[in-house]
Amino acid sequence: MTTPTTALKTPAPGSAGAGTGAPAGRPPRRGRSVSPRGHSGWTPWLYLLPALVLLAGLLVYPIYQLGLISFLEYTQAQVSGGEPTTFQGFGNYATLFNDSQFWQVLLATVLFAAACVVSTLFVGCALAVLLTRIRALPRLALMMAALGAWATPAITGSTVWVFLFDPDFGPVNKVLGLGDFSWTYGRYSAFALVLLEVLWCSFPFVMVTVYAGIRAIPTEVLEAASLDGASQWRIWRTIMAPMLKPILIVVTIQSIIWDFKVFTQIYVMTNGGGIAGQNLVLNVYAYQKAFASSQYSLGSAIGVVMLVILLAVTLVYLRLVRRQGEEL
């Protein structure tokens, strides 16, 4: 008579608990993932190293030089070697912040950028919705026209717009019956003219991006809302806009950055900032201080202020994108 023995089950190689000492039915503890060569922590950085070196040369070093000059007394006398360069500390910033014109230009820049962003988003989103409701041939024509405006260099587009609104030879005044009205003479009319040009070359980005987002929305949702009797505005406000929120955040922040840095349109269309500087924005103001007045340290200080403002906007953008990514 044989005595039954208890068979010990040995885990198969590669199964949970094999060679780990973990109790049966309990998954083993996860250790630190290491590549076969032991470079798990450094491998991604090695791939990014060429791009980081390039960015350091093209971005970090110029920013360092910009900040350094903003703390020095650096004018034409120092550039030519006639006088030594001296350290001013925050003296250039104190001079800048005590200048009433700086605050006027800053306010004008913020208001102008806000008007450009709102106009660009409104026109871009409206045309994106229109693209979903027209036939293929008109949609292709609209897309080609918009991409043509987007691809036009800023200086070329600005020159064309100046000609179109010229008081003597421009066709716009003749069509509207405005005679020899000068759009660039008044402060607000000049800003309005530049705004139209910025809108013309900026709305295609918003239109194409939002249109791609709309096409990703399930058609069943939009058809159900239409069958329920919802108007187009209600469909946009209650369905499209919430679903397009991540895309709208991206285009809004990027439009803010682009429109806050407007230079070419203002400089070309208002001949360097308008009569007595009435159409100055921060970029043109910094250019005038640095190169027209040879006050390179003040121009650098304005550049640093703009960098800080745009960096704050960028950090808000990254935080919103990260939050949206966690929700999705």
| pLDDT tens digit sequence for 243-258 | 998 898 889 888 998 9
Q: Is the pLDDT of residue 130 over 60?
A: yes
* Whole-number Å distance between alpha carbons of 7 and 264: 84
* pLDDT band at 37; cut points 50, 70, 90: low
Return the pLDDT at 300: 94
Task: Give me the mean pLDDT over the 277-302 stretch.
Answer: 92
- Supply the DSSP symbol for 56: I
* Whole-number Å distance between alpha carbons of 57 and 142: 41
Return the pLDDT at 322: 75
Q: Is the pLDDT of residue 81 over 60?
A: yes
Q: What's the chain's average pLDDT? A: 85
Return the pLDDT at 14: 45
79: in domain: no
Return the pLDDT at 222: 83
Return the pLDDT at 221: 87
53: in domain: no
The secondary structure of 192-252 as a DSSP string is HHHHHHHHHHHHHHHHHHHHHHHHTS-HHHHHHHHHTT--HHHHIIIIIHHHTHHHHHHHH
Q: How many domains is the chain built from? A: 1
Cβ-defined contacts of 249-254 (< 8 Å, 24+): 249/317, 249/320, 249/321, 249/324, 250/209, 250/317, 250/321, 251/121, 251/124, 251/205, 251/206, 251/209, 251/210, 252/117, 252/121, 253/313, 253/314, 253/316, 253/317, 253/320, 254/205, 254/317
149: in domain: yes
Give the sign of the dihedral formed by CA 90, CA 92, CA 95, CA 97. negative
Task: Give me the mean pLDDT over the 267-289 stretch.
Answer: 93
Q: Is the pLDDT of residue 5 over 50?
A: no
* Whole-number Å distance between alpha carbons of 182 and 166: 7
Return the pLDDT at 325: 60
227: in domain: yes
Q: Cα–Cα distances in Å, from 252 out to 110, 128, 215, 241?
A: 14, 15, 19, 13
Q: Computed over its alpha carbons, how large is the radius of gyration of the chain? A: 30
What are 63's two structure tokens?
């920013």
39: in domain: no
- Supply the DSSP symbol for 38: S
Task: Give me the mean pLDDT over the 95-124 stretch.
Answer: 95
Q: Is the pLDDT of residue 19 over 80?
A: no
* pLDDT band at 29; cut points 50, 70, 90: low
* Whole-number Å distance between alpha carbons of 328 and 320: 12
Task: Give me the mean pLDDT over the 268-290 stretch.
Answer: 93
| pLDDT tens digit sequence for 167-181 | 988 999 999 988 889
Residue type for position 129:
V
CATH of the domain at 233: 1.10.3720.10
142: in domain: yes
Query: Which ranges of the chain does DSSP label H, i.e. alpha helix?
Result: 43-55, 61-70, 76-80, 91-97, 100-131, 136-151, 154-164, 171-176, 187-215, 219-227, 232-235, 241-243, 245-260, 264-269, 282-287, 296-327
Distance of CA 60 to the CA centre of its chain: 19
162: in domain: yes
Residue range(s) defining the domain that contains residue 250: 110-279
* pLDDT band at 27; cut points 50, 70, 90: low
What are 186's two structure tokens?
């008044």
Return the pLDDT at 7: 43
104: in domain: no
